Amino acid sequence: MTFKNPQFFYLLILIAPMAWLYVWRERKHKATVRFSDLSIIKKLPISPYRRLRHILPLMRAIGFCFLVIALARPQTQHAEVEVTTEGVDIMLILDISESMKALDFKPDDRLAVAKREIKSFVQMREHDRIGLVLFAARAFTRCPLTNDYGVLVQMIEAAGYTDFSNQTAIGTAIATAANRLKDSPAKSKVIILLTDGANNAGDIPPLTAAKAAGELGLKIYTIGVGKDGKVPFPVEAVDPHTGRRTQRIQMMESDINEKELADIAKATGGAFFRAQNSESLKKIYEEIDKMEKTEIKSISHVSYSEYFYMWLWIGFIVLVMEMVLHNTVFRRIP
């Protein structure tokens, strides 16, 4: 609660001289009646009204305080902020092919690290619509554009390897994401593609899909994950005699096509990034977050609720009661 006119609280200083005046009058102006013998009067019980006579100045002071509070105009402030955004619509593309099982981001594999950093990126955003496309040999929309980040994070967490084989259809994934963004009214439309391989599946060449996306006003950021050269990869082996499955680590060549990913980004005015460890991947998503900020406009409206009338009525009632008691129950004989 705030006060519109707090300067009126200085009037409370008057309570001190009011109290002093009452005490002075009590001591100096006592009514007396002369009797030849006071022994009988002294034996009379003291009236309760006499004991309570000091309640009148107290009521007067309380009533005065309430009136001062009313003059100070107590009120509560209601701030209403109208937020308008020129948001960014973002489609996240995540590679879930078998090659993402590589263990060069120890102790986790590439997919686990990618999911962790993508979730952090989503949680950094505000007011944007974000969707998710998963792909391997084919692509599908796992989550359409949404503001419900809780649901989106759950879907990212649930993303796993499929039976789509170890092929990578980058062009199809870009086309799927572009189809979700093409009719978006957002000021900025962005695709963030994360993969660890080269395009080797699908009917749409990646660069063709990227140029089409650029014509639609979409910007693509590409991220290549994985170290160069041979990387550790878990391989499952089945014993032909017992049928027992065992897992062993085999060194396999990483096949990231950096030039292709860089050309995809360049065709749309985006940027290509390379992540060879989890820390660099985290910094990439933080950089993209800074590059694609939502423009937020806010208009504040402030309204007030007045409460002075409540204090005014209470003060008025207390003072009226004091006057009534002063002229009836506590009336003095001159």
Q: In degrees to the nearest 10, what's the CA dihedral of 117, 211, 270, 91?
A: -30
109 lies in the same domain as 237? yes
pLDDT, one tens digit per residue, over 113-143 is: 999 999 999 998 888 899 999 999 899 999 9
Higher local confidence (pLDDT), 29 or 309 = 309
pLDDT, residue 83, reads 57
Percent of the chain surpassing pLDDT 70: 83
Percent of the chain surpassing pLDDT 90: 36
pLDDT, residue 274, reads 94
285 lies in the same domain as 310? no
Q: Which residues contact 73 (CB under 8 A, 6 or more apart)?
A: 3, 4, 5, 306, 308
Query: Which residue range(s) make up the domain with 316?
Result: 1-18+46-82+303-334
Residue 35 within any structural domain of the chain: no
Residue type, 75: Q
229 lies in the same domain as 281? yes
pLDDT average, residue stretch 177-190: 90
313 lies in the same domain as 257? no
193 lies in the same domain as 207? yes
- Angstrom CA distances, 57 to 21, 62, 166, 214, stand at 10, 9, 92, 83
pTM of model > 0.95: no
pLDDT, residue 333, reads 54
**pLDDT score of 250 more than 90:** no
Edge-to-edge strand order for the sheet containing 74-86?
2-3, 74-86, 295-306
CATH number of the domain where residue 97 is located: 3.40.50.410
pLDDT, one tens digit per residue, over 273-308 is: 999 998 999 999 999 988 887 665 555 566 778 878
Our CA angle for 92, 221, 119, nearest 5°, is 35
CA distance 275 to 283: 9
Tally of structural domains, the chain: 2
| Beta carbons of 225 and 114 less than 8 angstroms apart | yes
218 lies in the same domain as 328? no
Buried b (16+ CB within 10 A) or exposed e, 250-278: eeeebebbeebbbbbbbbbebbbbbbbeb
239 lies in the same domain as 316? no
Residue 39 within any structural domain of the chain: no
Higher local confidence (pLDDT), 205 or 166 = 205
Please name the helix (run of DSSP H) or strand (run of DSSP E) that holds residue 5, with its range, or none.
none
